Amino acid sequence: MAPQDEPVETKVLALGDEAIAEAARLILAGRTVAVPTETVYGLAADATRDCAVAAIYAAKGRPSFNPLIVHVGDLEQAEAIGRFDPAARALAERWWPGPLTLVVPLRPEAAIARAVTAGLGTVALRCPAHPAIRALLRACRRPLAAPSANSSGTISPTRADHVLKTLGGRIALVLDGGETARGLESTIVKVDGSGLHLLRPGPIAIDDLLDPPPTSGRIEAPGQLASHYAPSKPLRVDATAAEPDEWFIGFGRVDGDDNLSPGGDLGEAAARLFAALHRGEESPKPRVAVAAIPAEGIGLAINDRLRRAAAPRET
């Protein structure tokens, strides 16, 4: 089947048994379906079939060098795809199901489409906790490749209508499960012979994961482009007050048109970040500013996303 480059009518179904059955039917036919996870909505397809994976890249306009995360139902399914050393297995046993992605060596015999890993010798694996994607994994009985369900480089989706903003007319179905709980993409850790490397900060804080914390916080994932998660207007970070032409997203006592968490709770701020950026993008103001967010715990992941959203666009 050719990648989905023809416009399609995108159906939206509220989560439930029938919606999961329809989603599984579409995925087994090689199509893509947006599904909520506990982090952000993912665009899922059959990870074992080249044409299904190609449909993800086509719908997102994603560069083919940027590999996808493979979602699995449990550690056993993950170990059939990647090689887990004791350190990787310990992390999986501690945090799965949950918002942690592990990058481990790919088993050469694994039944995974080559495009999923963009030809790398490693594979990113995640066992998600959200009941919707877990039900879909059970119904499909195969691993699902799923990047965030947004057009490449735009703000990630934490609600079904965010998915429709950039992928409406490009994908077959959105499963609507309401707002996602965590709001930021999974923490990504690479495990190799030399130890653990943080590739992307996320809901699981680095201090909780790595003991002692790594010396380098350098972001190494190939898809971690400097400009990413970006609204379609200029964004200013660490702002103390709004300029007249700015939509201002506050935090704690620094209030604005919006506030990520009036009580200064970083978990709440993470869960609301992308929805607030979407609102800023839709506001009549030509620019967006965001208050300073403390760089501790999940605040590190929030600041990572904000810096990328504010970075000059790569062409």
Q: Which residues bind Mg ion (CB under 5 A)?
A: 148
**Cis peptide before 147, with omega less than 30 degrees from 0?**
no
CB of 133 to ligand TXA, least distance (A): 8
Ramachandran region, residue 168 (left: φ > 0; alpha: ψ -120 to 50; beta: rest): beta
Q: Cβ(299)–Cβ(266) under 8 Å? A: yes
- Residue 48 token pair: 């074992």
**Cis peptide before 97, with omega less than 30 degrees from 0?**
yes
Residue 27, burial from CB neighbour count under 10 angstroms (0-12, 13-18, 19+): buried
3-state SS record for 261-306? CCCCCHHHHHHHHHHHHHHHHHCCCCEEEEECCCCCCCHHHHHHHH
Q: Is 189 in the site for ligand TXA (CB under 6 A)?
A: no
Selected range binding ligand TXA among 10-18, 73-81, 218-226, 304-312, rule: CB under 6 A:
218-226
* H helix runs in 29-126, sequence order: 50-60, 75-79, 86-95
Selected range binding ligand TXA among 67-75, 173-181, 233-241, 266-274, rule: CB under 6 A:
67-75
Residue type, 128: P
Altogether, the residues listed in the chain come to a count of 315
Q: Is 56 in the site for ligand TXA (CB under 6 A)?
A: no
Selected range binding ligand TXA among 135-143, 146-154, 232-240, 265-273, rule: CB under 6 A:
146-154
| Residue 120 or 237 having the CB closest to ligand TXA | 120
CB of 146 to ligand TXA, least distance (A): 5
| Residue 179 or 255 having the CB closest to ligand TXA | 179
Q: Is 186 in the site for ligand TXA (CB under 6 A)?
A: yes
| Residue 216 or 240 having the CB closest to ligand TXA | 216
Which of 103, 136, 269, 302 forms a contact with ligand TXA (CB under 6 A)?
Answer: 103
* Cβ neighbours of residue 263 closer than 8 Å, sequence gap 6 or more: 252
| Residue 68 or 269 having the CB closest to ligand TXA | 68
Which of 80, 120, 181, 210 forms a contact with ligand TXA (CB under 6 A)?
Answer: 120
Which of 27, 40, 275, 310 forms a contact with ligand TXA (CB under 6 A)?
Answer: 40
Q: Is 222 in the site for ligand TXA (CB under 6 A)?
A: yes
Which of 24, 32, 42, 242 forms a contact with ligand TXA (CB under 6 A)?
Answer: 42
| Residue 70 or 289 having the CB closest to ligand TXA | 70
| Residue 94 or 253 having the CB closest to ligand TXA | 94
Residue type, 280: G
Residue 196's beta-bridge partner residues?
191
CB of 302 to ligand TXA, least distance (A): 14
Q: Is 227 in the site for ligand TXA (CB under 6 A)?
A: no
- Residue 76 token pair: 């056993």
Give how far Cα 237 sits from Cα of 250, 277, 278, Å: 11, 12, 16
Residues that bind ligand TXA (CB under 6 A): 37, 39-40, 42, 66-69, 99, 101, 103, 117, 120, 122-124, 126, 146-148, 185-186, 188, 199, 221-224
